[in-house]
């Protein structure tokens, strides 16, 4: 695995001179924004997204839907709720679902949500939709979506690898019905089929037949958001069969939705409080959420901090101690890089389990974390489904990011305590958090 960009784009990760004490307004959730865009595009009436995330992944989603004929207007929010963020908090997107048309070309970048959620939408368009993306997108699994769509009645041209690039020949409608998939490599296969399911003639019944199923909170997020726009969804949790989700055909409502802050993107800021023995307030932390980042309250508490959820948001306080952890992250895999970074700074070893599927994320995250932490003097070994991390005294050096936003933020966490860490291509954080360098230096009072 070679570092992917020239070492010229190096960002000196700021070193913390003391305990941080900051309020950080974290932009909207990627996962909620991209589901909301898809559901609004499939609705039978206009809808609003307030405080949407504007990042590479969500702009690719909006651009793809526009390419298929959906109107998405930029507008200033007319919401009466006060804007709490310092910038852009009042902006909104108004989505006018004016039909899904081909031919069109979609750039998925390296966004799992775009490459998995949109082929099922494209099957409803009235012409061919071509999907292409970054080189890494060709390597990320898509077979669960492609095979399922064929069973449900779609015509798809691909090169037979079960991956991008491909063309979905939309026929204006899709039969739908029951389908079995192995979603052990990505929960997004299940979410993708459920999101478009209400618009299929027979709805959809998705049965997961693989071994394990990662990222269950993200499937719950899909189900919750479908129900919020009027879809009828039966789930294992609502008394249905294990591993089976059923969506009834029906029209979707246009809603007015304010997007929650991205709790996984809050992770590096909470980690900063934890590792410096400081304090960080994240305003607007939801009292109830399906976002996996909510698990950080428990995980980072076990690693040495404490937190309080108040009307102002989540206040997280470090104690000065950083403990190792033995944890199964299968449900919250996207938190792994940030937890690994904290674990490398801890006072005892850690074992992170249940995340073999991270080898197929933005990069092979298990290999990348092992290599980059070890090159700073760490002692990390890969297991079959995770990492063993034995803390060592680390030194400065280049932290490569492999076009992975969460590698960049993981390196920044280490840089708080280790002088001389340089993050290669910090701009890769634009995938979900373009403001990261400014928010980070702002948190440090620079
Ligand atoms: O549905 C979603 O929004 C996501 C699901 C998860 O994917 P996997 O199940 O592929 O890990 C997660 O890691 C990703 O960041 C976002
Ligand atoms: C795995 C991630 O992204 P994607 O939506 O591209 O799968 C992530 O953000 O950690």
The continuous run of DSSP H or E covering 336 comes out as: helix 336-343
pLDDT at 75 (0 to 100)? 82
> Fold for domain 10-27+261-443?
UDP-n-acetylglucosamine1-carboxyvinyl-transferase; Chain (3.65.10)
In ligand 1, which atom is closest to the CA atom of 30?
3
* Pocket-testing residue among 30, 186, 295, 405, ligand 1, by greatest number of atoms within 8 A of Cβ: 186
Distance, in Å, from the CA atom of 285 to the CA atom of 309, rounded to the nearest integer, reads 8
| 356 Cα: distance to centroid of ligand 1 (angstroms) | 13
**Residues flagged as binding site for phosphoenolpyruvate:** 30, 112, 140, 188, 365, 406, 431
94 lines ligand 2 (CB under 6 A): no
pLDDT, residue 350, reads 99
Q: Tens digit of pLDDT for each residue in 387-427?
A: 999 999 999 999 999 999 999 999 999 999 999 999 999 99
State whether the beta carbon of 313 lies less than 6 angstroms from ligand 2.
no
Please tell me the residue having the least CA distance from ligand 1 atom 12.
334
Angle at 365 between CA 422 and CA 269, to 5 degrees: 55
Q: How much is the pLDDT for 86?
A: 38
Domain parsing of the chain, residue ranges: 10-27+261-443, 30-258
State the alpha helices, DSSP H only, in 13-134: 30-42, 56-67, 112-122
Ligand 2 near 111 CB (within 6 A): yes
Question: Is the Cβ–Cβ distance between 334 and 305 less than 8 Å?
Answer: no
Question: Are the beta carbons of 196 and 124 closer than 8 angstroms?
Answer: yes
Residues of the chain with pLDDT under 50: 1-6, 80-89
Tell me which residue of 272, 274, 338 sits closest to 306, measured CA to CA.
Answer: 274
Q: Decide: residue 79, CB within 10 A, 0-12 exposed, 13-18 middle, 19+ buried.
A: middle
CA distance 366 to 400: 13
**Binding site membership of 125 for ligand 2 (Cβ less than 6 Å):** no
Pairing of strands 177-181, 204-208: parallel
pLDDT confidence of residue 4 = 47
Complex-level ipTM = 0.99
Nearest atom in ligand 2 to 406's CA: 10
Residue 8's pLDDT is 56
Q: What's the rounded Cα separation, in Å, for the pair 84 and 194?
A: 33
| Residue 446, pLDDT score | 66
Quickly count helices (H) and strands (E) in the chain. Answer: 12, 23
- Is the shortest distance between the CB of 291 and ligand 1 below 6 Å? no
Please tell me whether residue 225 adopts helix, strand or coil conformation: helix
* Fold agreement between 10-27+261-443 and 30-258: yes
Please tell me the residue having the least CA distance from ligand 2 atom 4: 112
What pLDDT is recorded for position 90? 57
Q: Note the CATH architecture for domain 30-258.
A: Alpha-beta prism (3.65)
Q: CA-CA distance, 81 to 26, in Å (whole number)?
A: 17
């Amino acid at each position: 695995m070679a570092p992917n960009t020239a070492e010229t784009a190096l960002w000196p990760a700021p070193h913390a001179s003391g305990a941080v004490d900051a309020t950080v307004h974290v932009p909207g959730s990627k996962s909620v924004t991209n589901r909301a865009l898809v559901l609004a595009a499939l609705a039978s009436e206009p809808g609003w997204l307030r405080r949407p995330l504007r990042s590479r992944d969500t702009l690719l989603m909006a651009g793809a839907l526009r390419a298929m004929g959906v109107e998405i207007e930029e507008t200033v929010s007319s919401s009466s709720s006060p804007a709490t963020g310092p910038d852009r908090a009042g902006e909104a997107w108004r989505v006018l679902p004016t039909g899904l048309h081909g031919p069109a070309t979609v750039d998925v970048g390296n966004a799992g949500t775009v490459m998995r959620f949109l082929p099922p939408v494209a099957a409803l368009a009235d012409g061919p939709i071509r999907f292409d993306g970054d080189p890494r997108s060709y390597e990320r699994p898509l077979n669960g979506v492609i095979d399922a769509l064929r069973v449900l009645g779609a015509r798809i041209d691909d090169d037979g690898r079960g991956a991008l690039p491909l063309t979905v020949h939309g026929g204006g409608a899709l039969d739908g019905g029951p389908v079995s998939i192995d979603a052990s490599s990505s929960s997004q296969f299940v979410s993708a089929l459920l999101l478009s399911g209400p618009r299929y003639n027979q709805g959809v019944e998705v049965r997961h037949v693989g071994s394990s199923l990662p990222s269950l909170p993200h499937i719950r997020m899909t189900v919750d958001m479908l129900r919020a726009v009027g879809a009828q969804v039966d789930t294992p949790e609502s008394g249905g069969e294990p591993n089976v989700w059923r969506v009834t055909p029906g029209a979707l409502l246009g809603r007015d939705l304010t997007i929650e802050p991205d709790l996984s993107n809050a992770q590096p800021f909470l980690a900063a409080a934890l590792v410096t023995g400081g304090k960080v307030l994240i305003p607007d932390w939801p009292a109830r959420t399906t976002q996996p980042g909510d698990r950080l309250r428990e995980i980072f508490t076990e690693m040495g901090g404490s937190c309080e959820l108040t009307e102002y948001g989540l206040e997280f306080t470090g104690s000065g101690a950083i403990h190792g952890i033995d944890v199964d992250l299968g449900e919250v895999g996207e938190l792994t890089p940030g937890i690994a970074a904290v674990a490398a700074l801890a006072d005892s070893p850690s074992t992170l389990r249940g995340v073999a599927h991270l080898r197929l994320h933005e990069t092979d995250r298990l290999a990348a974390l092992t290599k980059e932490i070890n090159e700073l003097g760490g002692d990390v070994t890969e297991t079959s489904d995770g990492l063993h991390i034995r803390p060592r005294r680390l030194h400065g050096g280049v932290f490569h990011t492999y076009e992975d936003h969460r590698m960049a933020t993981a390196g920044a966490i280490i840089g708080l305590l280790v002088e001389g860490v340089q993050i290669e291509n910090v701009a890769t954080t634009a995938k979900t958090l373009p403001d990261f360098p400014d928010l980070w230096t702002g948190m440090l009072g620079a």
